[in-house]
Amino acid sequence: GNSVTQMEGPVTLSEEAFLTINCTYTATGYPSLFWYVQYPGEGLQLLLKATKADDKGSNKGFEATYRKETTSFHLEKGSVQVSDSAVYFCARANQAGTALIFGKGTTLSVSS
Amino acid sequence: DGGITQSPKYLFRKEGQNVTLSCEQNLNHDAMYWYRQDPGQGLRLIYYSQIVNDFQKGDIAEGYSVSREKKESFPLTVTSAQKNPTAFYLCASSTDTSDTQYFGPGTRLTVL
């Protein structure tokens, strides 16, 4: 089964609302964790990453903390904008370190 | 400008025909990847290459083939053996297989 699990979308928010997208993983050890964002019709862009437990990744107002106790890497933003509307993917490095394993993605829709 | 390019953006083919998708990078990355994206299924790894003249099957390699004759290029051939080839195909690269992956803009393949 998929070892990265994201909350199902779509997530629909009003502008300036608080965002949380949950992500949990199963793994042996402590793999690097990533959040990618995909805007309509485009490829994925790295949003942020964390390479070890308790690290906090941040970028463009988004944050995520590597929580080994709960095997989670939840994405948060304090005040979303319409331009944040996109699909967000959580990912972790696989055990061999040869590729990334992606969650199924969470669609975020922000309205003004 | 450094980056990853995929061409074409949209591709249409008749059933039973082989088709080759292009992926080029000028980031001097050793590792390159091909993913397939279907609605609601996230990204699934088709093939990856850690170095020139070497490549490995991913989770869904059946019906696909690749080559890695040059560091900059990692073309993907979708053969007639692939039962459901219509999808969005994403190419990525990284400095090595344990590091952040950078994605191209994708090719949307439609088989008629």
* B56-112 tens-digit pLDDT: 999 999 999 999 999 999 999 999 888 899 999 999 999 876 678 999 999 999 998
pLDDT at B39: 82
Q: How confident is the model at residue B2 (pLDDT cuts 50, 70, 90)?
A: low
Q: Are residues A43 and B43, on separate chains, in Cβ contact within 8 Å?
A: no
What are the chain A neighbours of B105 within 8 Å (beta carbons)? 42-43
Query: Distance (Å, rounded) from C-alpha B20 to C-alpha B8?
Result: 10
**Of how many residues is chain B composed?**
112
What is the pairing mode between strands B87-94 and B31-37? antiparallel
The percent of chain A in helix, strand and coil, each rounded to the nearest 5, is 5, 50, 45
Answer yes or no: are the C-beta atoms of B103 and B91 closer than 8 Å: yes
Distance from B42 to chain A by nearest Cα, in Å?
Answer: 4
CB distance B76 to B21 below 8 Å: yes
